[in-house]
Amino acid sequence: MAQGATLLLTRPAAKSERFLALCRARGFVGGAVISPVLDIVPRDPGVDLAGFATLLFTSASAADAVAGRPDLGGQRAFAVGDATAAAVRRLGLDCASAAGSAAELVRLVADESPPGPLLHLRGVHAAGDVAGELAARGLRVAEAVVYDQQPVPLTPAALALLHDAAPVLLPLFSPRSARLVRAAAAEARAPLDVAAISVAVAEAWGGPPDARVAARPDADSLANLVVARAFG
C-alpha cells in the first residue's frame, strides 16, 4: 500500500480514537475517518451475578455493560485478552488474561478449573461457543447476554472515501463488523488494504482483497500491521 493512504476506522468512536492514537504513536501521519458500524447497547443479563463464582469476558464491552452493578464484586474473572482484562480490573475484579483468542481463553479456564459456577458475559453476536466448549470439558458454566451490537450505516464521509480512487487502510476487529463493512464496501472504487485482528475476522471479511492477519489478536499487533502497510 502506497504512502498517503487514509485510515477508515469502524469501531465505536472511543475505541476508534484509541486505536488511531496507537497508530499515530507508531508514526502514522495520514488521514483518518471514523465511522462506527456498530452501536453497543447494554442489556440486563437477567441473572444475579453474585450467584456465580467466576466470570468470563470475551470483550471490554461486556465489562462496560455490567459496570456499577451491586451484584458485582468478589468473583474471580478471566478475559480473552489484555485490553479486556484491563477493563475488567477497572470493575474491581481480579482478572487473568488469556492474551489471545476465545480458544485460548477456553484452554486457560479449563486448565485452571476455577470455582463454579462460571458465567460467560457476552454480546448478542459472539464468535465461538465459550460456554459450550467449557461445559463439554466438565465445567459448570452458563452464559448471559449483556449487550447488543446494533448495526449503524457508514457515514457520508466514509462512503465518499470508499468511492474515491485514493487507497484506504481498513483494520477490522470483529467478525460481525467485518461482514457489515464488507456489505457496505461491495462496490468500493478505492484500493483497499484490509488488516484483520484474527483469522476469524479475516474469514468473515472474505475478500477480495484478502485480509492480512495481525501477529497476535490484539490492538497493538493490529496497529503494527496497519502502520507497516502504510509505509509498505
Domain annotation covers residue 1: no
Q: Is 2 a residue whose pLDDT tops 60?
A: no
CA-nearest of 126, 123, 184, 169 to 23 is 169
pLDDT at 3: 63
Q: Domains in the chain: how many in total?
A: 2
Which residue type does 70 have? P
C-alpha cell, 170: 481498513
Q: What is the C-alpha separation between 81 and 71, in angstroms, rounded?
A: 24
Domain of 52: which CATH number?
Answer: 3.40.50.10090
Domain annotation covers residue 221: yes
Residue whose cell numbers read 458500524 = 37
Residue whose cell numbers read 467485518 = 178
pLDDT tens-digit series, residues 145-161: 999 999 999 999 999 99
What is the model's pTM?
0.85
pLDDT tens-digit series, residues 209-232: 999 999 988 899 999 999 999 887
Which residue type does 7 have? L
Q: Which domain, by its residues, includes 72?
A: 47-148
Q: Which helix or strand (DSSP H or E) is residue 146 part of?
A: strand 141-151
Query: What SS3 state is found at 55?
Result: strand
Domain annotation covers residue 170: yes
Contact 54, 119 (CB under 8 A): yes
Q: Are residues 194 and 225 both part of a single domain?
A: yes
